[in-house]
Chains A and B, each alone.
Chain A
Amino acid sequence: MAELRRFLIRRFLTFIPTLIGVTFIVYLIAAVVPANPARLWAGGQKANPQVIAMLVKEYHLNDPFYVQYYYFMKGFLENSMVSPVTGYKVWYEVKTYMPVTIQLTLISFVFILLIGIPLGIISALKKDTWIDATIRVVALVGVSVPIFWLAYLLIFLFFTKLGWITLSGTPTPPYSITGIPLIDSILKLDWHTQWEIIKRYWLPGIILAYPGIGVIARLVRNSFLDALGADFVDYVDARGLPKSQRYRHVLKNAMVPIITVLGLQFGGLLAGAPITETIFGLPGIGRFMLTSIYSFDYLSLMGGVFIIALIYMTVNLIVDILYALIDPRVRY
Chain B
Amino acid sequence: MRCKDPIIVVKDLYVYFYTYAGIVQAINSVSLEICRGETYCLVGETGCGKSVTSKALTRLIKPPGRIEKGEIYYYPEPGKKIDIRKLSEEELRELRGYEISYIFQDPSTSLDPLYTLGYQVAETMAFHKVVHNIKDGIRKAVVVLKNAMMPDAETRVKAYPHELSGGLKQRGAIGISLANQPRLLIADEPTTALDVTIQAQIMDFLRKLKEKEGLTLLLITHNMGLVAEMCDTVAVMYAGEIVEEAPVEILFKNPMHPYTKGLLKAVPVHVGKKVTLQSIPGTVPNLIFPPPGCRFHPRCSYKFDPCDKKRPPMIEVEENHKVACWLYEKKG
Contacts and interface: CB of A to CB of B under 8 A. Distances in A.
A5 interface: no
Contacts of B162: 328-329
A234 B104 contact: yes
B124 A231 contact: no
A114 interface: no
Interface stretch (A18-26, A74-82, A236-244): A236-244
A238 B104 contact: yes
Contacts of A237: 60, 96
Contacts of B116: 328
Nearest to A232: B112
Interface stretch (A90-98, A179-187, A245-253): A245-253
B21 interface: no
B18 interface: no
B236 to A, nearest CB: 25
B101 A328 contact: no
B95 A231 contact: no
Interface string B128-149: 1000000000000000000000
B60 to A, nearest CB: 6
B97 A329 contact: no
Given A238-B58, A238-B96, A239-B176, A327 B114 contact: yes
B77 interface: no
A245 B109 CA distance: 18
A231 B127 contact: no
A230 B97 CA distance: 19
A326 interface: yes
Nearest to B176: A239
Contacts of A328: 113-114, 116, 160, 162
Contact of B114 (A231, A240, A252): A252
A254 to B, nearest CB: 11
B110 interface: yes
Contacts of A239: 96-97, 101-102, 123-124, 176-177
Interface in B185-218: none
Contacts of B55: 238
27 contacts: A231-B110, A232-B111, A232-B112, A232-B113, A234-B104, A234-B110, A235-B104, A235-B173, A236-B112, A237-B96, A238-B55, A238-B104, A239-B96, A239-B97, A240-B94, A240-B124, A240-B127, A241-B124, A249-B112, A252-B112, A252-B114, A253-B113, A328-B113, A328-B114, A328-B162, A329-B113, A329-B162
